Structure 1
Amino acid sequence: MGDLFGWLLVFTLLISLLAILSYQLMCLTDLEVDYINPYDSAARINMLVLPEFATQGILCIIYLITGHWFMFLLSLPYLHYNVGLYRRRQHLVDVTEIYSQLNGEKKQRLFKLCYLIILLVLCIFWLLWTVGEAHD
């Protein structure tokens, strides 16, 4: 039962990460089609960067605590990338250069989104596997 609870917690964290990244992509797309000004877009994106990083860190810690080594190793590169961005102080979107960095920022978030979708599919697989074992 504890393993099932762990997978449900991981599932919830992955869904929240997907929601954060989707919102950031929406802000960048709105900026691209000129529905929002650069200041508001950068403020909205920057507001969610640290919660995204913290959620990813918590996800890795939960994988480590629950002993899901394969999933921990799969999520470690994403965490390493985020820590590298934070250490180089490149984690926030600059208002003055947001238009010149727009394509790069969108590609970065799309790559993260695809990466998280793969992790989510694997999580759903292991969640269903755990439920199937519980019924046996």
Structure 2
Amino acid sequence: MEAAVFILSLVDCCALIFLAVYFVITLSDLECDYINARACCSKLNRRGVTLINCTWVVPELVGQALATVLMLVSLHWFVFLLNLPVAAWNMYRVWKVPMGNMGVFDPTEIHNRGQLKSHMKESMIKLGFHLLCFFIYLYSMILALINN
């Protein structure tokens, strides 16, 4: 059972690493002017006002919540407490989108007040966090398989 939890967490973490790399690449393309703000935000958010239609933001939220719940259910408290702030931040970020914005990434505001830099920094921090979690899950999975 414990090995299955860590295998599922490892697969989930791989998907979150892919999403973090995709966010970094897309935002760096915007920073280097390879794409415009509207194209960047439409890649990261689907066109529309509702957050239910978001392309990559909601799967990131669900993936992080899944990893957090898996650690809670399997009673791995350290990893649960490690994942909890990131899951809470993702929920806060999605729920605090101002009315009228396209989504978490809005083309009219992404260049204002250093939002592009903060989005880029957030994506890099998440990438580092998910890489750290990947190795923690990998070590825990190997340990669980050896103990069985």
Match of 2:106 in 1: 94
Over the aligned positions, Cα root-mean-square deviation in angstroms equals 1.4
Post-superposition offset of 1:32: 1.4
Q: Matches of 2:36 and 2:89 in 1, distance apart?
A: 28
Letter in 2 for 1:118: L
Match of 2:132 in 1: 118
Greater share of residues in helix: 1
1:22 aligns with 2:21: yes
Match of 1:73 in 2: 81
Given the two structures, how large is their TM-score scaled by the length of structure 1? 0.90
Post-superposition offset of 1:87: 2.6
Q: List structure 1 segments (4+ residues) > 6 angstroms apart after TM superposition.
A: none
Match of 1:107 among 118, 121, 139: 121
Match of 1:36 in 2: 35
Q: Percent identity?
A: 26
Give unpaired runs (5+ residues) of structure 2. 46-54
Give unpaired runs (5+ residues) of structure 1. none
Given the two structures, how large is their TM-score scaled by the length of structure 2? 0.83
